[in-house]
Structure 1
Amino acid sequence: MTRAESDGLRSTWEYGAVKTRSQGPRKGPPLENESTAVGFCREVLPAVSRTFALNIPVLPRPLDTAVTVAYLLCRIADTLEDEAHGPTSAALLAELARLSTLPEGWEADARRFTEEAVRVLRAQAPEAEVRLVEGTPRVLEALAVHAAPVREHVAACVAVMAEGMGRMGDKGRASGGGLGLASLEETLEYCYYVAGTVGEMLTRLFQWYSPTIAQRAAVLEPRAVAFGNALQLTNILKDVREDLERGSCWLPRTLLAEHGLTPETLLEPSNRREAMKAYNKLVAAAHRELRKAFEYVMALPREEEGIRLFCLWPLFLAVMTLRKLHGNEAVLERQPVKISRRTVKWVVGSTRLLVARDAMLKLMFATLTAPLPT
């Protein structure tokens, strides 16, 4: 997975902290037995994701804690994929999936899992992510205090994510077949395992919380995967050079080959013209997924403003990121291409004002995506 978040949940991204004066209504009571483990989750969240620390608080209770715990478990899986060395990461991912079902005796098993996971992390692993892995038993304890449907939805997501990461993780790294994934379909399959699964889980959690959202399942569920895929594909495009320098690539080799390129030659200055042609085709693919994601958000009921904002912020931040990436050769240079804090604040403020005004949101989306390739 890319080093920057997609959080998808890594999908979902590292744009910088934004302070907002009002987090909106917090409907619903807090968890009846909210524990110090939940407090740990709230505390560690900003250290591993400024983005989710920004938008989770707009969710109503107890949906906010459910999504926090779900995100952190997915982030633990992501850290194991990125930072664990040796052949043990797949086994650790499988064990994390098992522990997420909270089997009998999970507490002792979680402690053993944590010792092994911390032992195999790279020395260069970010301190905050190491602390999160060390806190795996506390994250599982926080999951345990949630309602049964929440536990089931989260465990199902972690299981699919872990299996996919374990199976596809090595495909994007240097191996007998070289760097990169075989095709755009395989790139999107990878996006599904690390982010599309999160879109599915969030949809199930939204339906658990809101009967009105549950009534719209037929519209939301077919678009849930695109919501996660759009965010992850945007992150892949944003982090192409960083990933390549780490020995990873999630771009499709077939598409690069159409322009006489390979992942190994993509960054060569003499290949810039063809590289940008291939790159812009991938921007178009991300744009396509974003259009489906926007349909997803528009299908959420207007009265659920917190849930809408939770989805609108990363969606429009992805749009603004793609606008900055499109046709920009700087994405292949060492200095990261990022949207500004001013842009983040503008997205947050604009969507707060327009959250329940569908016509204005559609106009905003159409205007901002107009320059993007289709």
Structure 2
Amino acid sequence: MAFIDWALHPTELWAAFWYAMRNAPPDEKTNRLNVSGDMKRCYDFLEMTSRSFAAVIQELNPRLRDAVCLFYLILRGLDTIEDDMTIPGAKKRHVLETFHEVIYQDGWTFKESGPDEKDALLLVEFDVVIREFLRLAEEFQTVIADITRGMGAGMAKYTRARVESLEDYHEYCHYVAGLVGHGLSRLFAVSGLEDKSVGERLELANSMGLFLQKTNITRDINEDVLDGRCFWPRAIWGNYAESEEQLIAKTNREKGVEALNAMCFNALQHIPDVLEYLSQIKEPSLFKFCAIPQTMAVATIVLCYDNTRVLDSNVKIRKGEALKLISQSTSIESVKVVFYRYMEQLERKNHPSNPMYEPVRKIIDRTKKDIASTLKGGAPVDLTKEYLVLLLFVVTAAAFFYSYYSERQA
């Protein structure tokens, strides 16, 4: 199956080769960063807990790299507490609500995670993270602690509250992801690597987080329902099913897909803000750090749209596709081309018989129009490199075999 994927998408094979040549094993990466002791252990934890963010964080400008690494680990610790269904509710809420205080308590650790919690070791050795956090500049500490306080309070609220209305859904996603966008933008500005306006236009930063979170929530419906929870708002799924279990049931497949498409539409509405936010990021390593998750999110939400497999399993974009997106997330022009291409894919999937056809079509038309008006060459030509490379491969192979058999016959 993997061979067929590479054969059908040859430019992804090149992207994989490019990625392998540029990326060293984890131990070599941390040695290259010239870190040791507690900070080296923090980068070890970064590698353990994040497949997608570890590489781009380690490529950040040195003025911000350690702060973002520690910011990620602190929020990962907070998220690990929230996700652990074995921690009693009252205990969980207390830890979540006070987490912004314990990051100032040298020596604090947490050893009460459930046996199946994959990131439990981070909390067991959290004193390492705290020691490095306390070494950061005060302006970095202030931003990180403030975001941790807001996120912890929001997570604590939703250990008891359910996501019922669209307002609840927006608020929950703000707490767990939009605030991350706030914090990163403020860190960018405080570091001096970006203009201070980046840390002030927080509505755009919020949309960056919401697009990622809503994409993940939309994709994870099967896994979440089977785990006994659901982050899809009842205001959407309640129109198509009487319960979360019925939502993913094979006997309710047509209505389940309609609910899925409504969720995709809700996420797609953040795309204009995402592109506007990325347009203001100038420092190359920060741009790449911000752009890679967003290009993967647009690829994922387009994959999910009208896709019955989402109701049965956790769908993911191809690994080669992800590596190709990494290679294309280097400038605002190339990112806009990526978004334009996926809007074309979405357009082909958005059939007139689909109840969400018209609202989704409006998002597609607006996005394509906005992108075409800002690109130097206008709208990207609707011609994929995949087939050009494949055609070149076929022609070359045909020429080789023709030459080979001609020589044998001679």
Shared fold, TM over 0.5: yes
Could you state the TM-score of these two structures normalised by the residue count of structure 2?
A: 0.74
Counting aligned pairs with the same residue, the percent is: 26
- The answer for the alignment partner of 2:214 in structure 1 is 233
Deviation at 1:266, TM superposition (A): 0.6
Q: Where do 1:131-142 residues align within 5 Å?
A: 131-142=121-132
Select which of 121, 128, 142 maps to 1:152: 142
For the pair 1:281 / 2:281, whether they are aligned, the reply is no
Q: 8 Å contact 2:42–2:70 — kept in the other structure?
A: yes
- The answer for the alignment partner of 2:99 in structure 1 is 96
User: Aligned partner of 2:191: which letter?
Assistant: Y
Deviation at 1:260, TM superposition (A): 4.0
How far, CA to CA, are the matches of 1:19 and 1:321 in structure 2? 23
Could you state the TM-score of these two structures normalised by the residue count of structure 1?
A: 0.81
User: Aligned partner of 2:326: which letter?
Assistant: V
User: Aligned partner of 1:193: which letter?
Assistant: Y
How far, CA to CA, are the matches of 1:22 and 1:50 in structure 2? 13
User: Aligned partner of 2:116: which letter?
Assistant: Q
Deviation at 1:216, TM superposition (A): 4.5
Select which of 216, 234, 239 maps to 1:258: 239
* CA deviation string 1:294-328 (max 9, x = no partner): 21111112xx1100000110000001111111110
* CA deviation string 1:7-28 (max 9, x = no partner): xxxxxxxxx9x646179xxxxx
Moved more, 320-329 or 163-172: 163-172
For the pair 1:85 / 2:87, whether they are aligned, the reply is yes
Q: How large is the Cα RMSD of the aligned pairs?
A: 2.1
Select which of 201, 204, 218 maps to 1:223: 204
| Higher helix fraction (1 or 2) | 2
Q: 8 Å contact 2:111–2:124 — kept in the other structure?
A: yes
User: Aligned partner of 1:364: which letter?
Assistant: V
User: Aligned partner of 1:141: which letter?
Assistant: R
Q: 8 Å contact 2:46–2:69 — kept in the other structure?
A: yes
* CA deviation string 1:134-176 (max 9, x = no partner): 111111111111111100000001100111101112334xxxx
Q: 8 Å contact 2:328–2:335 — kept in the other structure?
A: no
User: Aligned partner of 1:341: which letter?
Assistant: K
User: Aligned partner of 1:367: which letter?
Assistant: R
How far, CA to CA, are the matches of 2:21 and 2:102 in structure 1? 36
Select which of 105, 118, 128 maps to 2:111: 118
* CA deviation string 1:177-229 (max 9, x = no partner): xxxx21122112111111111000000000012254214445x4220111011
Deviation at 1:62, TM superposition (A): 2.7
- The answer for the alignment partner of 2:402 in structure 1 is none
How far, CA to CA, are the matches of 2:240 and 2:341 in structure 1? 31
- The answer for the alignment partner of 1:315 in structure 2 is 294
- The answer for the alignment partner of 1:365 in structure 2 is 339
Moved more, 90-99 or 255-264: 255-264
- The answer for the alignment partner of 2:167 in structure 1 is 185
Q: 8 Å contact 1:35–1:142 — kept in the other structure?
A: no
- Secondary structure of 1:247 counterpart: coil
* CA deviation string 1:321-348 (max 9, x = no partner): 1111111000111x42111110011101
- Secondary structure of 1:343 counterpart: helix
> Which gives a bigger RCO, structure 1 or 2 (Cα 8 Å, sep 6+)?
1
- Secondary structure of 1:91 counterpart: helix
* CA deviation string 1:28-67 (max 9, x = no partner): xx89xx6622111101111111111121122101311111
- The answer for the alignment partner of 1:26 in structure 2 is none
Q: Where do 1:165-204 residues align within 5 Å?
A: 165-172=155-162, 181-204=163-186
Q: 8 Å contact 1:253–1:262 — kept in the other structure?
A: no
Q: 8 Å contact 2:177–2:210 — kept in the other structure?
A: yes
User: Aligned partner of 1:297: which letter?
Assistant: L
For the pair 1:329 / 2:308, whether they are aligned, the reply is yes
Q: 8 Å contact 2:188–2:198 — kept in the other structure?
A: no
- The answer for the alignment partner of 2:398 in structure 1 is none
For the pair 1:61 / 2:40, whether they are aligned, the reply is no
